[in-house]
Amino acid sequence: MPRPPHVHPRVPNQATSPGGIGRAPQLHHNETQAAGMRRPGAVAVRHPLHVTVVALIAIVTFMAAASGGTATGGVLTIYYAERPPYSHTLQNGTAAGMLVDASRDILRLTDIQFEFKQMPVPRILQTLDNADHAGAALGFFRTPGRMEKFKFSNAMYDDGPLCIVYTTPLLLQGRDHAALARILEQPGIRIGAMGGYSYGERADAILKAHDKSVHRISGDTEQLYKMLTAGRINGFLARKPDIDHAADKYGQGTTHAILQDVPLHQYRYLMFSRNVGNDLIGKVNAAISKLANRPTH
């Protein structure tokens, strides 16, 4: 599989692109009313137009079902969490961030009409699970549990390796061979992590196996930096974009090491509600492939 595009285009002035998701035609006719008004004993005669309309509706319904399509049509709503530098909301209400920029770059190569909407992660999952319209979560990791409920695009973003941020050199036994499982096995260790957030399938399994050594918070990377410098935790988990975003302001005296017992590449995806058509996802995947094969110079 080609590595997904790792792009940082400038933030445009608007968050939608031309074109739109196909909408099934809304057909109106009054044959039912007319039939109810016929005189007693009269035989109802089907107008040729009525037969044609019914046939068209059946064809459209069949084609939507065959493609995995949704009858709701309309704009594709892309839900994102407030988590800079990946995604956040500017003062003017515009969505911004690395994943927002990447998704704009992808969707502008399609004819899909889209919009962004900020929402906490638990609500995003609930909204997509109960969706009655076309929706997608921005830059989510693909896990076995999520694959049972949702559809996924091809990988849209490479999040890079998972790191441990720390201040005490004794935390690691060889910086070039840092292992999350080995760190969590040390007596009295407390490693910070964000609650309700997936660090990838392998890392999540290690964290679950050493749950007593993990201190989960509902905040962000900045809060984890503050807790580390205050001595409340011995280290915390983060990826390079998180570290770069907060280190200048909060990371004095800290360092980080790449964890070697979890995948060095962690891919992010657009995660769609089940009622999104496979044809739409196919357009997204074609755009992802086009960007991945684009010359970098």
pLDDT in tens, 273-297: 999 999 999 999 999 999 988 765 4
pLDDT of residue 176: 62
Mean pLDDT of the chain: 79
Q: Is residue 106 part of a domain?
A: yes
Do residues 136 and 230 share a domain?
Answer: no
Q: pLDDT at residue 86 above 50?
A: yes
Are residues 112 and 1 both part of a single domain? yes
Average pLDDT over residues 253-277: 93
Give me the pLDDT at residue 244, please.
85
Q: Are residues 118 and 171 in the same domain?
A: no
Both 242 and 195 in a single domain?
yes
Does 74 fall in a domain? yes
Q: Does 253 lie in the same domain as 113? A: no
Question: Which of 102-111, 219-228, 284-293 bottoms out in mean pLDDT, i.e. has the lowest?
Answer: 219-228
Query: pLDDT band at residue 4, thresholds of 50, 70 and 90?
Result: low
| Residue, of 49 and 86, whose pLDDT is higher | 86
Angstrom distance (rounded) from CA 253 to CA 132: 49
* 154 and 284 inside one domain: yes
Choose from 29-38, 57-66, 164-173, 190-199 the range with maximum mean pLDDT: 190-199
pLDDT digits (tens, 9 = 90+) for 228-244: 989 999 999 999 888 88
- Predicted confidence at residue 296, as pLDDT, reads 55
Residues 190 and 79 in one domain: no
Instruction: For the chain, give the secondary structure using H, E and C.
Output: CCCCCCCCCCCCCCCCCCCCECCCCCCCCCHHHHHHCCCCCCCCCCCHHHHHHHHHHHHHHHHHHHCCCCCCCECEEEEECCECCCEEECCCCCEECHHHHHHHHHHCCCCCCEEEEECCHHHHHHHHHCCCCCEEEEEECCCHHHHHHCEECCCCEECCCEEEEECCHHHCCCHHHCCHHHHHCCCCCCEEEECCCCCCHHHHHHHHHCHHHEEEECCCHHHHHHHHHCCCCCEEEEEHHHHHHHHHHHCCCCEEEECCCCCCCCEEEEEECCCCCHHHHHHHHHHHHHHHCCCCC
Question: Predicted confidence band at 38 (pLDDT cuts at 50, 70, 90)?
Answer: very low
Same domain flag for 143 and 72 = yes
More confident residue, 171 or 275: 275
- pLDDT of 96 > 80? The answer is yes
Structure confidence at residue 3 (pLDDT): 58
- Same domain for 181 and 236, yes or no, is yes
pLDDT given at position 103: 98
Which pLDDT does position 174 carry in this prediction? 59
Q: What is the pTM of this model?
A: 0.70
Tell me the average pLDDT across 158-171: 85
pLDDT of the residue at 245: 85
The residue among 227, 242, 258 that closes a domain is 258
The contacts of residue 28 (CB under 8 Å, 6+ apart) are none
On whether both 220 and 182 belong to a single domain, the answer is yes
Average pLDDT for residues 130-156, to the nearest whole number?
A: 94
* Residues 133, 54 share a domain: yes
Q: Which of 48-52, 107-111, 112-116, 135-139 has the lowest mean pLDDT?
A: 48-52
Mean local confidence (pLDDT), 58-63:
42
Query: Would residue 184 count as lying in a domain?
Result: yes
Does some domain include residue 272? yes
Residues near 259 by beta carbon (within 8 Å), at least 6 away in sequence: 161, 162, 163, 164, 178, 179, 180, 203
- The whole-number pLDDT of residue 178 equals 87
Confidence of residue 143 (pLDDT cuts 50, 70, 90): confident
Domain assignment of residue 19, yes or no: no
Average pLDDT, integer, range 259-266:
92
CATH number of the CATH domain containing 108: 3.40.190.10
Whether 216 is covered by a domain: the verdict is yes
Domain count of the fold of the chain: 2
Same domain, 117 and 216: no
- The percent of residues in the chain predicted with pLDDT above 90, rounded, is 54
Name the residue range of residue 233's domain: 162-258
Whether residue 24 is contained in a domain is answered as no
Q: What is the pLDDT of residue 2?
A: 52
Residue 52 resides in a domain:
yes
